[in-house]
Structure formats: structure tokens, C-alpha cells
Amino acid sequence: MGHGGGSCQKKSVDKRSPKSDKAYTREVLGPLARAQNILVINDEAHHAWRSNPENKIKLTKEEKENEREATVWISGLDRIHASRRILACYDFSATPFAPSGNKNDSEALFTWIISDFGLNDGIESGLVKTPRIVVRDDNTPAAKTFRSKLYHIYADDTVRDNVKQAAEPRVPLPDMVLQAYNLLGADWFETYKNWKKAKSPVPPVMITVANRTETAARIKYAFEHNRISTEELCDSRYIIHIDSKTLEKDENESIKIDDILSGDDDGEGGRKYSKKEQIALLRETVDTVGRPGKRGERYLESDRIRIDPPLFAMDKLRVRIMLMLNMSRIVEHLWNFIRLRETEQIVPVFDPNSKIRSTGHMPAWWTSKHREPTVKSHITHCVHDSAWEAAEAYKIEKNPHVTAWAKNDHLGFGILYTFEGVPHYYYPDFLIKLDNEKILVLETKGQDNSLVQKKRRAIAEWVEAVNSLKEYGQWHCDISFNVADIDGIIEKYTGK
């Protein structure tokens, strides 16, 4: 029933049966609908395959979506085959494998491969793009391989953890990635000059394939804000970001700097900025480094940054080199200032794919490391990386105030933090449930240093955010520097 001027509308129900295979074929093939004995060529065939019935491993949300999309094309071909007959289907792909829950190895390869035209053959034939490897590198080579660290840059710890996160575009890229782009940019510029000398109508193109959409956005941001030393590559008119899954962003919340500044951008003359305006100005400072006359460049040229020893501050070139080598630290300093000044409330940011995790979600895994069975842990065995850690685990297991515990191994409980301008994930050692229902996150360390202190602040902030919700019990965090202090730490939080 409706009242107050409202109106009621009837809703119809579509009772039509699903389309027949013939009707489906007519709709999809259009003018070719009457054709029979069809030959199908699938380009980029790694996007079109059947579900793997042997896959017993749980796929991620993204992998499930890719699997669903991949099977749509094949199911359509099945319906066309039923009505018009497909003689053969040829798949072409540079990556002929489908996700199996494991890494992309031989077990995930398509079983119907009949011909392998390798990458080297493709390059020599001029059929594929030529990959470029950074070779002009004077850094210390990797200890294990004696290769340049830039040879397999994703394997570096400072890079892998950084680019795996769903970070905002303005988050700085790792210094090693920026260095690689600077070196590749120099190679590109030499090619550019040669092409220009040869009167080529188009310049060479640098193509980057990123591991995730957020990383691609950060790379684009770095180029557009002159984080790369090759100016010709930083012209936003020639930068194209191809991203099929870019999320729509509300631009109404953005604040234009030009609308804030009214002749004086330092807030003098009685002009007071709102918090949003202050944040916008601070971001403008970070974003305009390298742009003459802008806030970021004026900040670097001011006396707010001191270089020690003074030998490196004797001329502008040396100063510039020192600033560029330490740009990540400068950005971190500004970012910490933004957080300190503008944070009103600390709230947790949940993983959209898995808001709550449990020890029950840990997959089975195998190891040759030393391990001991447990009684109070949901996980059958505790794997020890050292004798000291084994002693810590033993003390936790035997403590009468501990009702349940787990070593944070293969659980995915990580805390994001930034150290020296580089984002990392910190994985505390133990999760402990006490007999008063409190949960203790315990870290074990042999000594205290600036890195350990940064991790402690990160976990303390995380605990504060979770406790503010009052939905997940009461959490605490602490650190043990000696096996003998385990019982004392636990007693501190039980009050017994």
C-alpha cells in the first residue's frame, strides 16, 4: 500500500526460456551465422580456457574472476560447435598456462601444446617487442648470483614487498625501481637521438608491464611528477596508462592549489587554512619537487634541510645529488609530518578480500625445518627458525595463562610500515590468547635498533586502531628481548 502522494508500480517477470544454441549462434555470429565447419583462432589464448578439474587449491578472488571470464569464451564456442560445428580451434599465447593455485610452472601449462616458438626466435624474427635489461649498473651485485640487483629487480626484498601492496599513486616507488628507470631512460634517450638523427617520424616507446594496477598508477605518477631524470619521458601528453580495472574516483573531494593560494602560500597575512587545505599544500610540496618555482622545489632550496658533513653542501650540484639520493627519506619525513599534524582518528583499513582471517584458513604446507608438536595451538606443529625461537615457543606453550597461541607462519598477518622511505610488511612472531580473553601480539628480538622501534610503533598503532572498534576483543602488543622475560610479559597483561 502507498500513501502520501506515492505511486505503486507493477514489476514484470521475464519468463522466457534460455536461448537455444541456434539462436545464440545467430546473435553472436551475425552475417556468418549460416557458416558451418568453422575454424577458430584464439589469440591471447591464456584468457580462454576451461576450469581445471584437478585444481584442489583455493583460488584468490582475482583468480576466481579470471577463471570465470576465461570460461565464458569457451562455453560460447561449445554452443556454436553444437549448432554449426567447429572443425578445429588453434590457441596462440606467449603464456600458455592457467592458474592452478601454484606458481606458473609445468604443472599449470596447457596440455594441448604442440608447437613452441620461443622468445629468442620471436625476437630474432622481429615478431615481438625487444625486452631491455639494465646493464649499466655500478651497484654491488647480489651475493648469491653475482648478477646486478636490477637483473631480477622483483626478487629484491625492498622491491617485492613494496609493489605487492595496494598503495596510492603518490606513494614513492622503491629507490631501486627509480634507479632502473633512470638507467633505462638514459638508454631510451640515446635511441631517441639516433632515431631523430635518422629523421624517424616517431620516437621510440618505453613500455612497462606492472604486477598490479596500483603499481601501474604509481609508475605513471612518478613519470608525471618528474621522479625520473629523463625529461622527455615525463611529458604527461605522451604517457598512456592502460588499465582495464581502474576504479572510479570521486574528484569532487580534490582541492585545487590555485583556489587556495591568494598571493601568499605560507598562510601569512591572517589567512588560516582548513585541514583539507593544509593537507593539499603538503601534498603539493611533495608532488612539485623538481619543478622550478613550485613549493616542493622551494622547500629543497630552503634552509630547512641540513646536509652533514658540510663538504657535500659546498655547491648546488652536490646538494642536488644528495637530495636526490635521499629523496625517499625526505618524502617519509614530510609524510610523517602530515600524519602527525592532520590525523584526527586512527581507524583500521581491512583487506577487502578477507576482512577476518583465522588459523583455520592456513593451507597445509611442508618443511624440512625443526618442528615440535603443540597442544594449545590450533596449528599441529610449530616450525622453529632458531633455537632461541624454539625456547620462546616452549615458554608460551607451558605458561598457565595461555589458552591458545600460534606462530605467525603462513597466516598472512602483516603490518604495513615505512622505513627510510620504503614501505615494508612486518610479520610479528606470535599471536597469544590469554585466559582473560585478551590477545597479545608478541615479537621476539635479540637487540633494539631503529628498525625494531619503527616496527613497534607500527604494531602499536595497529592495536590502537583495532581496539577503537570494540568489536574484536582487547588487543595488546609487546616485545621480548630474552627468553626469561616471557612469563613476566604475559603476567603484565593478565594482572595475575
- Domains of the chain (ranges plus CATH)? 21-124 (no CATH), 153-238 (no CATH), 253-342 (no CATH), 369-494 (3.40.1350)
Predicted confidence at residue 386, as pLDDT, reads 80
> Running DSSP on this structure, what letter comes out for residue 52?
-
299: nearest Cα among 309, 287, 285, 312: 285
Predicted confidence at residue 135, as pLDDT, reads 56
Contact of 372 with 384, CB cutoff 8 Å = yes
Predicted confidence at residue 130, as pLDDT, reads 66
Predicted confidence at residue 13, as pLDDT, reads 42
300: nearest Cα among 272, 333, 273: 333
Nearest 10 degrees: CA dihedral of 147, 153, 100, 243?
Answer: -150
Predicted confidence at residue 187, as pLDDT, reads 86
Decide: residue 238, CB within 10 A, 0-12 exposed, 13-18 middle, 19+ buried: exposed
Ramachandran category for residue 197: left, alpha or beta (phi over 0 → left; psi -120 to 50 → alpha): alpha
Predicted confidence at residue 99, as pLDDT, reads 59
Decide: residue 333, CB within 10 A, 0-12 exposed, 13-18 middle, 19+ buried: middle
Q: What is the mean pLDDT of each run of 10 residues along the chain (496 residues)?
A: 38 56 86 87 81 62 73 88 90 75 55 80 74 60 62 76 84 86 88 90 84 88 89 85 52 44 44 60 67 73 73 74 74 71 73 74 77 85 83 89 89 79 80 91 83 86 88 89 88 80
90: nearest Cα among 51, 42, 53, 25: 42
Taking the model in full, what pTM does it have?
0.45
**How far is Cα 480 from Cα 404, in angstroms, rounded to an integer?**
18
Which three cell numbers, joined as nine digits, stand for 424?
Answer: 615494508
**How far is Cα 80 from Cα 20, in angstroms, rounded to an integer?**
10
195: nearest Cα among 206, 187, 204, 186: 204
